Amino acid sequence: MSKYDFDIGILGGGAAGLTVASGASRFGAGTLLIEKEKALGGDCLHYGCVPSKTLIRTAHVYHLMKNAKKFGLPDIEIKPVDYRDVARRIQSVIDIIQKHDSEERFCKLGVKVEFGNAAFVDDHAVRMNGNTYSAKKWVISTGSSPDVPPVEGIDTTPYITNKEIFSLDSLPKSMIVIGAGPVAIEMAQAFCRLGTKVTVIQRSGQILSKEDKDLADEVMRVLMTEGITFYLNTAIVRTGDSGNGREVIIKNREGREMSLKADRILVALGRKGNTEGMGLEEISLNFDKKGISVDERMRTNHAHIYAAGDVTGAFQFTHAAGYEGSIVLSNAILHLPRKVNYTYLPWCTYTHPELASIGMNEKRAKESGIEYTVWKEEFRANDRSLAEGEDTGRVKMLLDTKGKPLGVQIFGPHAGELVSEWVAALNGGVKLSTLAGAVHPYPTLAEINKRVVGNYFSGRIFSDKVKKTLKFLFNFKGRACGNE
């Protein structure tokens, strides 16, 4: 008989924690799940993916209404947005999904769910609400929080983060967005489309800094045409409350200072792992400002304590958290050693058009010193894109010197969906020739995946050598019209 109350204890009921909890319990392990907030689901459900994608959809519909003429429709009278209605729609979507992540559902799966603030008292036990809970193994999956810059005045300047933005009681007339990562850029476009005057401040010379500059610049260009103002290579000197709004003093590379004013400031600079208040220091668990350090099997420096999801500071996506949760299950519950492999971890920034990525982009290939070739196909050459009125963007495929795919970036309509074909192809080791030969339905956006591969093969197939051979074999007459 184990001397512990549970086989596995999990701190944090978000994407990572819920994956471990449901899997462990279904494998028959006595599972305890402790969540700090009043409901399960984590940031993704309450303050992240779900509300942001719901908001983005609403903003897109409003954008289409304003652009009805572009589709051959009559101009329509558009009323201003009442953000309380938008917030209500967001909450209604959260409520539906919440049922899937409910305490009842997890209890039915066999998981003991407790709510409260737990802190480790030793490396096998936590204390919470006056009780001690011990487990043979633990998983820390407490997620992340917005990183607030150490800027003069920020402590006394009212600002919002992803925690407040989806439940505002009115649409801001103007908003300054600090940061230009995916969250910042998605929110900037959505609010701009709803009618807010949006200004984005970015320290470096590029938005979406993990992406290739050419594609990130294209996203910025689209957002600028929609009315967003960008200040790149810009530092924040201080923030303040100007009485009739918030103020941000910025400084450009030449040292020139400028004052920006807006109704709201959105801080979306990045995330830091939630490591505070859990007694991690008491059990000498290794962590830093970014999060908890783990090895490839998601183990911390205590081999029976694992960490997964945003709290590790690695790839901060819901699907990465779920994947890491599955690695923990393999190692901690099934005792099957399994390592994480992020080679083909896809992600997408849900601007419109979207920017999706899998594998290496040019930036990472250059950093790794890998030789590559780039193959492109434009959405404006895709029939369905034209029919949809969505002809901005392109697919960029990187191949190594042997013609093996290194990665694919898609900037265009439904890029997040289109990249899934590459998820299957790259993970399954599907040959490019198979993809090029596979019949895709017409007219679809997905044909662009086949076309970009076709571009790689067409030079070889329709080469002079092949033409000469065919002429020799079949006595072809050659061009029937015009000169080459």
Q: Which of 394, 397, 406, 399 is nearest to 359 (CA)?
A: 406
**Could you tell me the smallest distance in angstroms from the CB atom of residue 344 to ligand FAD?**
15
Decide whether 40 or 399 has the Cβ nearer to ligand FAD.
Answer: 40
Is residue 407 within 8 Å of 398, Cβ to Cβ? yes
* Burial of residue 235 (number of CB atoms within 10 Å: 0-12, 13-18, 19+): middle
Q: Which is nearer to ligand FAD, 49 or 228 (CB)?
A: 49
By beta-carbon proximity to ligand FAD, the closer residue of 16 and 340 is 16
- Tell me the backbone φ, ψ of residue 149, rounded to 5 degrees: -70, 145
Nearer to ligand FAD, 175 or 432 (CB): 175
Q: Using an 8 Å Cβ cutoff, are 11 and 307 in contact?
A: no
Question: Whole-angstrom Cα distance, residue 121 to residue 225?
Answer: 55
Distance of closest approach, residue 466 Cβ to ligand FAD, in angstroms: 45
**Which residue lies nearer to ligand FAD by CB, 419 or 435?**
419
> What is the nearest approach in angstroms of ligand FAD to the Cβ of residue 266?
10
C-beta closer to ligand FAD: residue 182 or 412:
182
Give the H or E element holding residue 10: strand 6-11
Residue 436 beta carbon to ligand FAD: minimum distance, rounded to whole angstroms: 30
What residues line the site for ligand FAD (CB under 6 A)?
11-17, 34-37, 42-44, 47-49, 52-53, 117-118, 141-143, 162, 183, 274, 277-278, 309-311, 316-319, 321, 350
Other Cβ atoms less than 10 A from the Cβ of 369: the count is 6
Q: What count of Cα atoms within 13 Å lies in the side-chain half-sphere of residue 301?
A: 10
Reported as half-sphere exposure (CB side, CA atoms, 13 A), residue 6 has a value of 26
| Beta partners for residue 127, in sequence order | 119, 132
Q: How far is the CB of 481 from ligand FAD (least distance, A)?
A: 51
Torsion angle in degrees (nearest 10) through CA of 431, 435, 438, 441 = 160
> Do 229 and 191 contact (CB within 8 A), yes or no?
no
User: Rounded distance, CA 99 to CA 19, Å?
Assistant: 16
Q: What whole-number distance in Å separates Cα of residue 296 and Cα of residue 349?
A: 26
Q: Which is nearer to ligand FAD, 46 or 396 (CB)?
A: 46
CB closer to ligand FAD out of 25 and 382: 25
What's the rounded Cα separation, in Å, for the pair 62 and 59?
5
| Alpha carbons 176 and 246: distance in angstroms, whole number | 9
Q: Specify the residue for token string 């439940």.
A: 167
Contact 399, 372 (CB under 8 A): yes
Least Å distance, CB 243 to ligand FAD, is 30
| DSSP per-residue letters across 214-230 | HHHHHHHHHHHHTT-EE
Residue closer to ligand FAD (CB basis): 151 or 188: 188
Report the nearest approach of ligand FAD to the CB of residue 358 (Å): 13
Shortest Å, Cβ 183 to ligand FAD:
4
Distance of closest approach, residue 8 Cβ to ligand FAD, in angstroms: 15
Q: For residues 482 and 3, give the distance between their C-alpha atoms in angstroms, rounded to a whole number.
A: 86
Q: What is the closest distance, in whole angstroms, from the C-beta atom of residue 132 to ligand FAD in the complex?
A: 15
CA–CA dist 202, 187 (Å, integer): 14
Whose Cβ is closer to ligand FAD: residue 138's or residue 372's?
Answer: 138
Of 387, 374, 375, nearest to 451 (Cα)? 375
Residue nearest to ligand FAD (CB): 14
Name the minimum Å distance from CB 432 to ligand FAD.
28
Residue with smaller CB distance to ligand FAD, 276 or 383: 276
Two tokens, residue 385: 């894109």
Please report how close the Cβ of residue 323 comes to ligand FAD at its closest, in angstroms. Answer: 11
Structure tokens at 253: 């590379």
- Is residue 196 within 8 Å of 171, Cβ to Cβ? yes
Asked if 146 contacts 305 with a C-beta cutoff of 8 angstroms, the reply is no
